[in-house]
């Protein structure tokens, strides 16, 4: 089996739990996801099956989320699962929130939460946090393409926002940092990923509907539909050369190119001066 499947991860499961379920159903070990979702979060989780796992690096990484922020309280994890650190009874207005959000739009530097899987000196940050050890966290550049208020309840001091962002953006950090920018505190109490590249919520499949390998086959996506690179149709002779890992001469612009045969990916690589150099071959 070769392709993608757009799974909607339920709350309470890790991304690895989803992979485990799919491996049990399909009996295929070569399965991987394209981006972790925290257990308390739900939403789109693109999964690659079989040799399609080798295409993960070529997928669009931009994400979109709907997050709910509770203002007035901060936690150790920046979300609902952490222990309370600070509390404030300050009330803010929608106008103040809109003004504060301007600091988070565009390219920004963001400090990831101490309770995250980012590695520093070979250890994950949450390992330092659990042992109470101090560690220097470096900021990371991320890009926020869209950040909008969807709802604001000034009585409950609760805010729902839409965020479109680059890979590696921590929505938990935005919730925490927004609270600080407003002169109060904040933490994330709900998170839903509605988009991951071209994988959309409305086209996703609920995990509990995957009961058999046939359910997977019925929802498998041809990678050609989701890879936005120039494509070149091989003839039989070129296919033989590619099957042996040979470079071929083709008239294409320089850059990543996908070679196809019979509506399937035969290889992916780069063109330079009309010469295609194989990076990964998918035919024998």
pLDDT of residue 20: 96
Give the right CATH number for 231-281 from 2.60.40.10, 3.40.50.1970, 1.10.1530.10, 2.30.130.10: 2.30.130.10
Q: Which fold has domain 63-194?
A: Pseudouridine synthase (3.30.2350)
Torsion of CA 241, 246, 252, 253, to 10 degrees: 170
Rounded Cα distance between 54 and 51, Å, is 6
Chain mean position to CA 262 = 30
Architecture (CATH level 2) of domain 3-59+198-221: 2-Layer Sandwich (3.30)
Low-confidence ranges of the chain (pLDDT < 50): none
Residues of the chain with CATH 3.30.2350.10: 3-59+198-221, 63-194
Catalytic residue positions, numbered: 38
Q: What is the mean pLDDT of the chain?
A: 92
Pairing of strands 31-33, 63-71: unpaired
This prediction's pTM: 0.91
Pairing of strands 3-9, 205-206: parallel
């Amino acid at each position: 089996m070769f392709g993608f499947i757009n799974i909607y991860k339920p709350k309470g499961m890790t991304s690895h739990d989803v992979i485990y379920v799919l491996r049990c159903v399909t009996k295929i070990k070569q399965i991987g996801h394209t981006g972790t979702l925290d257990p308390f979060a739900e939403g789109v989780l693109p999964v690659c099956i079989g040799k399609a796992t080798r295409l993960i690096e070529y997928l669009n990484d931009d994400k979109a989320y709907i997050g709910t922020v509770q203002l007035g309280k901060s936690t150790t994890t920046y979300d609902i699962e952490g222990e309370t650190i600070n509390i404030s009874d300050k009330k803010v207005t929608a106008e103040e929130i809109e003004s504060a959000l301007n600091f988070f739009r565009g390219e920004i530097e963001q400090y990831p939460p101490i309770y995250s899987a980012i590695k520093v000196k070979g250890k994950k940050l949450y390992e330092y946090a659990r042992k109470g050890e101090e560690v220097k966290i470096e900021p990371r550049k991320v890009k926020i393409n869209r950040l909008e208020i969807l709802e604001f309840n000034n009585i409950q001091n609760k805010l729902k926002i839409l965020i479109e962002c680059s890979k590696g953006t921590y929505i938990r950090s935005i919730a925490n940092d927004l609270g600080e920018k407003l002169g109060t505190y904040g933490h994330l109490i709900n998170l839903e990923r509605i988009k991951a590249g071209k994988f959309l919520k409305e086209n996703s499949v609920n995990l509990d509907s995957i009961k058999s390998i046939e359910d997977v086959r019925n929802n498998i996506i041809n990678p050609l539909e989701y890879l936005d690179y120039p494509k070149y149709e091989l003839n039989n002779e070129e296919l033989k050369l590619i099957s042996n890992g040979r470079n071929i001469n083709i008239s294409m612009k320089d850059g990543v190119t996908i070679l196809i045969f019979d509506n399937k990916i035969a290889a992916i690589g780069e063109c330079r001066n009309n010469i295609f150099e194989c990076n990964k071959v998918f035919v024998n």
